[in-house]
Structure 1
């Protein structure tokens, strides 16, 4: 998809971080925008940064299928089409797998996986019917490529999001669709995902365990040394132009993925990660 000017982009998780950077980058490309998030104040701030672009905003919980259908209905109704769909909303919860509650899993899977699936089901059929070039960008994470201690719940949701992205791309290919897919797998990026508790539903208990505190210290460290969200947005635009499926924000991940594959094929457990700004334990910053 070479031309973005005059087209329509939808971005979830647009109130901050990568979502905000995508919105302002698409606006600079001359696109009209539908921006969604659970944070109305952040949405308004992002919209104000979009300059002269046409911008609609919608408070949307992507874990709610009906809310995402409403987002799609409004987008197609008021903007007429969708050419780029960014299923970007995401949240983080750390800790060991055996200490995480059902509420933790429900929340992360609801946003990180079902948010992607709801976006696909609500938007993609109509994007196919448009019979135009188009692109779906799913924000996964390198945590969807490299599982890590303290980040199991998050990795489970992101591995599934990667599988959904690959299956979607292959389904589109075998049906001859003009749509393409990018699985965005960021490493450490300076966003607010380490403060996901601010958007956790109030009806879900959130008693922090000692292992969760350790994971919080790790993710805080990773984000502090991360890259800027604007760099990720630039890479996404390149990936759309080049129709690239897997997008890594840190070049060193390519070699790591090769090493992990070789290790797994030998039947061994991949080595524990080191903790730095490019570490998978702190990746996938929406």
Structure 2
């Protein structure tokens, strides 16, 4: 997309964090913003911030895990503005207990993470892209995945597996639109550490998907390390600027850090060389993603 002014953006998970930052950045570029979040009051707060800057916006409560709610979001956007030019499938959750081993991970974590982190992207594509194609106008779709969808380790398995799936879905979207020679670009955003509230995701977990009493909690030691890492991570506004530039330049892969490059490379080489991988621990991977340890930041 080369022209943003006067166009319409729909952003999920925009009540806080990267979604809210994207709403502010694209709003500042002249776009009208449909702010979607499972927390309506948070979405309305983002709308109020945008309105104070003269940005036209409205809020829609949406649980992206539910197809009917994403369809209703699309209906609301098209009813109000008649078109959607930018779709940011940004909503995501991280189940607590990120350092549980795969056999210790509650089934409820798998279900919840997959419904939001993978099917939320699928629902957005399913309900918006056919309408965007029918418009015949220039457009763009952004998926917020994660570097966790490009590397492997023993930890954060329910989250990472869903993000791996979101990567594959988004690559398929890119390939399909390219085959159709459609005027719709695609960006796959794979952030490293970002200073957001994603590790407070449990606040929005449905009651029916709460894990049983036997689920091992996160150890206080690991939680303290994780909290410190995220406090010193890059800001959502930094990420939003990268996303804006990617939309304007039609860039597909966007990684917010180079700190995971070695892990991505090692995993890929292990596959190509048919050798056993040597995965680093989740904690050691995220500890690399600190300002003092990065060679460069795009």
- Structure 2 unaligned residues grouped into runs of 5+: 291-298
Question: For 2:218, which of 209, 212, 223 is the aligned residue?
Answer: 212
Deviation for aligned residue 1:271: 3.0
Whether contact under 8 Å (2:36, 2:61) holds in the other structure is yes
- Which residue does the alignment assign to 1:194? 199
1:80 and 2:82 correspond: yes
**What is the rounded CA distance, in whole Å, between the counterparts of 1:162 and 1:151 in structure 2?**
16
Q: Structure 1 residues 193 and 97 mapped into 2: Cα distance closer, same or farther (>3 Å)?
A: same
- Structure 1 unaligned residues grouped into runs of 5+: 280-286
Task: Please give the secondary structure, in 1, of the residue aligned with 2:79.
Answer: helix
**What is the rounded CA distance, in whole Å, between the counterparts of 1:212 and 1:100 in structure 2?**
12
1:68 and 2:73 correspond: no
- Which residue does the alignment assign to 2:2? 2
**What is the rounded CA distance, in whole Å, between the counterparts of 1:25 and 1:228 in structure 2?**
13
Q: Which moved more, 1:116-125 or 1:146-155?
A: 146-155
- Which residue does the alignment assign to 2:125? 120
1:101 and 2:106 correspond: yes
- Supply the RMSD in Å over aligned alpha carbons: 1.7
- Which residue does the alignment assign to 2:251? 244
Whether contact under 8 Å (1:145, 1:159) holds in the other structure is yes
Q: Deviations over 1:160-190 (max 9, x none)?
A: 0000000000011111111111110000000
**Aligned residues between the structures:** 279
- Which residue does the alignment assign to 2:157? 152
- Which residue does the alignment assign to 1:272? 280
Deviation for aligned residue 1:255: 4.5
Q: TM-score, normalised by structure 2?
A: 0.89
Whether contact under 8 Å (1:150, 1:215) holds in the other structure is no
1:175 and 2:186 correspond: no
- Which residue does the alignment assign to 1:284? none
Q: TM-score, normalised by structure 1?
A: 0.92
- Which residue does the alignment assign to 1:232? 239
Q: Structure 1 residues 259 and 189 mapped into 2: Cα distance closer, same or farther (>3 Å)?
A: same
